[in-house]
Every structure is written in C-alpha cells, then in structure tokens.
Chain A
C-alpha cells in the first residue's frame, strides 16, 4: 500500500515494466487492433514497454496484407510506427512462429525471437502483464 501511495504521489519518474501479450490473429476478432491501440496509448506514459507475439498473435505481423476485399482497416503497417513511439522491444516466440510455417523474413518489423524458456523468464520479470 505504501508503495502504491508513493507511486501516486510521485506521479513522475516511476517506470514499470509493462508487457503486452498478443495471442490472437488479426481481423477475425478485434483483439489485435485493440491491443495495438492500447500499446500506442501506453507510449504516452514513458513506461518500459514490451510487446510479445505468441500463438496466433504471430499472424499479426505478417507482411503483405491486403484488406481491401474484406473492407476493414489494414493496421499491420502501424507496427512499423511503434519505433517512433520508442516501443522497440518486440518479441516473437520461436515455437509459435515455426508451428505456422513462418520465419522472421515473413514479418513486417524486426523482432527478437525467443525460445519458450527465454519468453517465460521475460514474462516473469514484468511488473504488469496485459493480454489480448
């Protein structure tokens, strides 16, 4: 409780490790787009932000989407803008990528590929984990 009060009193200089975990394919549900928007908002608070793409979440990063036919917004290019918001920690789980026949070359942004154990320890060291 006292920690929490300190955080709230301080208002500035408190940097926590935030992880956003993306596990859904784009377009089929709204999770991927909503998750991306929350990450962009979080950038305004100068926190230590990581984004993780695992399971079907890896599909969010595929190059060459063309959403014209299904008449929805193609937000995949927004992942490229994350760098401009100082969100540069993007992680993809190796097993999830391989299970989908994908490689780093298929992705629209540069990512760090982690094995499951590395991903687990990265998750364990976070202050806040938010899932989409």
Chain B
C-alpha cells in the first residue's frame, strides 16, 4: 500500500491517522504541505522518525524546494521527483490518499 498525505501535520491530523493505519512495509509519500513534517526540528519530525522503523517514508522534492525546506530534510526520508511519484504509484497495487 502507498499512503499519500498532503496536509500539514501541524494543522490537520491526516498524517497521524495515516501513521496509525499504515501497516509494516507500507510506503508513505508526503506531498504539498505534508512535507513540513519531514523537516528537522518540526514537532512532527519525531512521528516520522519513529514511523521509519516500519515504513518507507518519501517526500516530493519539488514541494520541499518550493517551501524552502530542501536543506532541512530528515535523514532517512527519500526525496522523489514527479517521475518517482509515478513509479511509487505503479509499484504499489493500491494507493490511499489521506485528504
């Protein structure tokens, strides 16, 4: 399963719900305002770091760059471009968007 989160973790509970439901071995892709959660020093960073034990965490590079956050990405979070986004979708049989 590929989980896609697009809302800021400091404004909505989408990421929290996603991480609660995502099963071991699943992938989580952070896009749009959700990318802030994968930046150093953010209150949401701890949630991402502990989730990395069981889940693959990805973030969309262009969204990081647009927000001036490209230099602060948490270690272990894999950045993907739009092509990588498409690859993730095709590699997983199902996607769940946490709107």
Contacts and interface: CB of A to CB of B under 8 A. Distances in A.
| A, B bound | yes
A99 B32 contact: no
B48 to A, nearest CB: 13
Interface residues of B, number: 26
Nearest to B69: A62
Contacts of A99: 10, 42-43
Interface of B: 6-8, 10-11, 32-33, 36, 39-43, 45, 61-63, 65-72, 81
A110 B27 CA distance: 40
A28 B6 contact: yes
**Size bracket of the A interface:** 20 to 34
Contacts of B71: 64
28 contacts: A25-B33, A25-B67, A26-B67, A27-B32, A27-B63, A28-B6, A28-B32, A28-B33, A29-B33, A55-B11, A56-B8, A59-B36, A59-B67, A62-B69, A65-B67, A67-B65, A68-B65, A69-B61, A69-B62, A69-B65, A69-B81, A70-B62, A70-B63, A70-B66, A76-B68, A100-B36, A101-B39, A101-B72
